[in-house]
Amino acid sequence: MKKNIMIVLSLLSLNSTYVFANAYEDSFKNTIATQATANDFIKNYEITLTELEKKIENWQAKPDESSEVWFPICVGYENMVTILKNNEKYKQQFNESSFAAAMNFDETVENYKTEVEHATDLCQKAKKALH
């Protein structure tokens, strides 16, 4: 009986991790989609960037290479590339915004592509563990 309970609990925890992974990725679908206006794009870019920065700050405070920690960071990097690619028509507005003080639109896209490439191994392990 005790063994059966442990098996059921294990299966439930595996399923909840999978649900977490999908729910986390799905939570950004509207934010990273093609936006109706430049203002919507800039607002959603900032939301996506802030979320990624929080995840990175948490990791820096307590470095951990576990899937639960790295999966949201990986999704964040991928989301940054996606939101920029989906909203390239707002490149000029991005370059005129405060975000361009550090890097222009094209440099920002390349920066996040590089981050995705550097984190490929950890991201693949994290996704595999959580899917």
Give percent above pLDDT 90 in the chain.
Answer: 54
What are the backbone angles phi and psi of residue 37, rounded to the nearest 5°?
-135, 160
Cα–Cα distance, 131 to 129 (Å, whole number): 6
Alpha carbon 15 to its chain centroid, in Å, reads: 21
Query: How many CB atoms are located within 10 Å of the residue 46 CB?
Result: 13
Would 94 be classed as within a structural domain? yes
Would 41 be classed as within a structural domain? yes
C-alpha distances out from residue 95 to 5, 25, 27, 103, Å: 57, 27, 27, 8
Would 23 be classed as within a structural domain? yes
pLDDT exceeds 50 at position 10: no
Would 12 be classed as within a structural domain? no
Would 2 be classed as within a structural domain? no
Degrees (nearest 5) of the Cα angle 63, 98, 39?
Answer: 105
Would 44 be classed as within a structural domain? yes
Q: What's the pTM value of the predicted model, to 2 decimals?
A: 0.77
* Tens-place pLDDT, residues 62-83: 888 888 888 899 999 999 999 9
Provide the domain limits for residue 119: 19-130
Would 8 be classed as within a structural domain? no
Residue 125 burial (CB < 10 Å; 0-12/13-18/19+)?
middle
Give the number of domains in the chain.
Answer: 1
User: What local confidence, expressed as pLDDT, does residue 21 receive?
Assistant: 52
Mean pLDDT computed over 98-122: 94
pLDDT exceeds 70 at position 128: yes
Would 73 be classed as within a structural domain? yes
